[in-house]
Structure 1
């Protein structure tokens, strides 16, 4: 029970994944790792991400000895999940665009995929669309602005409603955007702006993300594959008191100090640097 979960992202977006994991498994110690030295991932090339992420996760696993890794980043998952799994001898859970639940929720059969530029152009998105949304018109839009706004929000800076509206218009103003009724938030930063996105929308939209599904997958793997839990019932673990957890960043920065109140709200009271 002492080995932590390692939740990894380029920045604070993965906190939107950590929250449902915490809700489902409050007794699990967590190391939340943010690669702020490499932030943002969404504007990097596939080669840069495929090289950086497995190497960095290897260092983090060596240092913190987690029982399971969650790549709480759509960009890193769609590009580097396979090499990470090949490199690490422990379970690795990825984050992929929530196209399947978006298609299931849509009545108009026009759905949006709102992510980073690096994510929305991936063939993986093509495959998910073909498999789970073949009867839907799938509209994509990549935004780095929303990533920055989410980061700033957790540092205590209120997002500019006009900037949110402009980014959402990048999706809705495309052909058939007037019929779009459901949006897959394909960047873990974007659920942090869920209220702002809803307020900026010119009409009611359904926003979906994969956070709860990831939490359920983590709980399943811990209950069924993690040796450290082999003699501990899952329900006992879920009822345990909140565990001591920490955040780790890849470089010191004034922004890290500004994030301390937000990190505390997610149960991350200690900060390390890799």
Structure 2
């Protein structure tokens, strides 16, 4: 299929977490035009009802697809993906890349047989996580913990605020305190916000732990889906969109610029 060389890749999340995914895509496809879309009016998705996300996410992505005619859309949010990925794929005639917990590689990497899944409360309770665990980690102990405070901590950090400095330690300790947690050696970062604060997780961990996320896998999938397509000679400054008031993103301007994005505009 012929694709306009200026057709963008849309990266979508409720907040700044998807920037970790966008960074991986930028490294893999440096000439790609990018649109980063945040649904800040409904942030955080981890505290939304599933019915709300099933109605909201396909509608928003439909508007974005109509406006920008993207070559593909990346749902850079574990919660949105585990709840609404199938509905979005059914609704849109655009390739959709979802974000799912990296349980399969974690199950291969663990040396003790115990892995943790750290995400939003909505993600860690999903049947999708049950299926991934059954398919790829049936002989492993999979511990789970929902850490909404860690999501807020990442959002604060990217705005230049300190945030709740106890959030990283508390999230890790909640996994370690569960039965079998003393043997845990690998933690799946099942929220795209969490790779953005990996440094704090490493620093506050009471012992050496391995942290893994799906960013590289998403970037490889984007490469595969765009093989043979043409690109601009140089990627333009990325477009940032947000629901709600763009003025609420004023403190993100410097962070967005570091990721090659312009100031937020109204979605």
Please classify the TM superposition score into its range, dividing by the shorter chain length.
over 0.9
2 CA distance for matches of 1:162 and 1:151?
15
What aligned pairs does 1:213-252 form with structure 2 within 5 A after superposition?
213-223=217-227, 229=229, 232=230, 237=231, 240-252=233-245
- Equivalent of 1:269, from 240, 254, 262? 262
* Counterpart for residue 153 of structure 2: 149
Superposed displacement of residue 75, structure 1: 0.3
Kept after mapping to 2: 8 A contact 1:113/1:139: yes
Kept after mapping to 2: 8 A contact 1:26/1:243: no
Kept after mapping to 1: 8 A contact 2:21/2:218: yes
1:21-79 Cα shifts (integer Å, max 9, x gaps) = 00010100000000000100001111111111111111111112211000000000001
Q: Does 1:90 align with 2:90?
A: no
What aligned pairs does 1:111-190 form with structure 2 within 5 A after superposition?
111-190=115-194
Contiguous gaps of at least 5 residues in structure 1 = none
2 CA distance for matches of 1:71 and 1:131?
23
2 CA distance for matches of 1:100 and 1:255?
37
Contiguous gaps of at least 5 residues in structure 2 = none
Q: Does 1:33 align with 2:37?
A: yes
- Match of 1:223, SS state, is coil
1 CA distance for matches of 2:98 and 2:256?
22
* Counterpart for residue 107 of structure 1: 111
2 CA distance for matches of 1:102 and 1:11?
26
1 CA distance for matches of 2:244 and 2:8?
21
Q: Does 1:196 align with 2:196?
A: no
2 CA distance for matches of 1:154 and 1:109?
34
2 CA distance for matches of 1:152 and 1:273?
21
TM-score, normalised via structure 1 length: 0.93
- Equivalent of 2:248, from 255, 260, 268? 255
TM-score, normalised via structure 2 length: 0.95
* Counterpart for residue 71 of structure 2: 67
1:139-172 Cα shifts (integer Å, max 9, x gaps) = 0000110110001110001244323211221111
2 CA distance for matches of 1:64 and 1:202?
46
1:212-256 Cα shifts (integer Å, max 9, x gaps) = 1000000100116xxxx2xx4xxxx59x43333111001115430
1 CA distance for matches of 2:167 and 2:82?
27
Kept after mapping to 2: 8 A contact 1:155/1:255: no
